[in-house]
Structure formats: C-alpha cells, structure tokens
C-alpha cells in the first residue's frame, strides 16, 4: 500500500502524517508513507486545499486533518480495494 501526505510541510501536514504513521503501525499494515511537498506533484491530484491524503493513488481527503478513526477507516477501505490487485 502506498500512502502520500500532500502539503508544503505545515503543522497540519505533519499532524496528518503522524496520525497516518500511528494507524499504519497499529494495524500492522505493509505500507510506505511519503510526504509530498512539491507543489507541481501535489497539483497532479484533484486537491484544492492541503493537507491531502492519497491512498493507492486515490485522493481520499483534503483540506483538513481527519480524526484517527477516520484515517483508520480510510486505510482499511484502501486495503479492501487493493485486495483485487493482489497476486496469489
């Protein structure tokens, strides 16, 4: 699973990244978490406000820091969508 936190590096971006890393650790998910600070790369996603959260190349949240419960659900949803892409 690939997870990206989109934003210039503000406090909300760092807060979102911290929550994402906590959830990934708690769920024991095999995921890479990447901070994307380059505005040209950020603008390749349909985002109007940062921070943004991208799971498996799908923008799932932008313009706010979701709660830990919301992030947990977003990651679980991403895992369920990704199951169809797994090779046996």
Give pLDDT tens digits for 16-37: 999 999 999 999 999 999 999 9
> CA-to-CA distance for 11 and 13, rounded, in angstroms?
5
Q: What is the pLDDT of residue 85?
A: 47
Q: What is the CA radius of gyration of the chain?
A: 12
Mean pLDDT of the chain: 92
pTM exceeds 0.85 for this model? yes
Residue-level pLDDT at 24: 96
CB of 5 closer than 8 Å to CB of 35: yes
pLDDT at 82 over 90: no
Q: Give the whole-angstrom CA distance, residue 31 versus residue 19.
A: 14
Token pair in block for residue 74:
């977003």
Query: Domain spanning 2-83 has what CATH number?
Result: 3.40.30.10
- CA–CA separation, 53 and 6 (whole Å): 6
């Amino acid at each position: 699973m690939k997870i990206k936190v989109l934003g210039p590096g503000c406090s909300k971006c760092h807060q979102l990244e911290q929550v994402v890393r906590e959830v990934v650790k708690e769920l024991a998910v095999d995921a890479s978490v990447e901070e994307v600070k380059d505005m040209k790369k950020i603008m390749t996603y349909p985002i109007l406000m940062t921070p943004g959260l991208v799971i498996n190349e799908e923008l799932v949240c932008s313009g706010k820091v979701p709660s830990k419960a919301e992030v947990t659900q977003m990651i679980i949803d991403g895992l369920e969508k990704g199951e169809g892409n797994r090779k046996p």
